[in-house]
Chain A
């Protein structure tokens, strides 16, 4: 080996060591920072480790997390417009969703009427779309909210006359019915501000929560945490109507 080669090799080795060192250092620096992400109650912006970047400098990830959600001018004006409007977007949507749901249910808990024609003597065809949720072009066929029963049309009838032919003029007094059906509260009760809400409706025939609250449900009713599978672990049903002892006779 020539002297030149040897010194070049040494420089290379030192270079590698330096890179390695920096890498290792960087690794530790990188993983050492940041707030405790496992504590959900730590609201952003009040972490102890928060630092601010020098003006014009790129903030580190730690800084971004710790910084909290600041606003830019666009967001500020949006917020003002929203608050000027009064109620939040979510509530308007929820009312619309509940009203829409109620349109084909006589009361909360009634079997919905079928908004499309069905074969009158069919047996199990309903399951083709309603066993799991089925969405096409913005319309959803919700999954059955209850366990499978073999005779779907025993409880679910069509919303519109199934037979052909001109209808007799409807009787003036017929089908005028003053029944006003119960609706469930739009939100469950919470023990404290961000506690999981109780289920505000009885769960008879609604054992499959995901039928309405799953990803294909009506927008504001969709669960923000679909990854959690055991709904009733946190969202208990209402004893009053679930015939718990001491509840309904």
Chain B
């Protein structure tokens, strides 16, 4: 199961920002860390590579998130994984 640590840069428009945070808070596979200066650390913890990719893509397309950077990735617990489509 991929575990990713990422840093999100959130939009400075209030509505978009709150919507994004609401989504993140509601998503069980995402854990929110303590924001520093408008930058939000999160952990994505999914069951498969495919899920992980799908979740990442959803963040990329979310309006209130202007940028995502990866800080940490661990795939060491994935075994006999198929090449993702």
Contact = CB atoms under 8 A, between A and B. Distances in A.
**A–B direct touch in complex (beta carbons closer than 8 A):** yes
Contact of A52 (B69, B72, B78): B78
Contact of B70 (A45, A52, A55, A67): A45
A46 B53 contact: yes
B68 to A, nearest CB: 8
Chain A contact residues: helix, strand, loop or mixed: loop
Interface string A54-97: 11000000000001111100000000000000000000000000
Interface in B41-83: 49, 53, 56, 66-67, 69-70, 72-76, 78-81, 83
Interface string A162-202: 00000000000000000000000000000011100000000
A52 B84 CA distance: 11
Nearest to B41: A83
B84 A43 contact: no
Interface string A33-63: 0000000000111101111101100000000
B4 interface: yes
A50 B84 contact: yes
A43 B4 CA distance: 12
Nearest to B74: A70
B83 A68 contact: no
B69 A45 contact: no
Nearest to B34: A83
Contacts of A54: 80
Contacts of B67: 192-194
Contact of B56 (A46, A67, A70): A46
A68 B66 contact: no
Contact of B81 (A48, A52, A67, A70): A52
Interface of B: 4, 9, 39, 49, 53, 56, 66-67, 69-70, 72-76, 78-81, 83-84
Q: 9 closest pairs, A vs B, by CB? A: A68-B73, A45-B73, A43-B70, A193-B9, A193-B67, A70-B74, A52-B81, A51-B83, A52-B78
Interface of A: 43-46, 48-52, 54-55, 67-71, 192-194
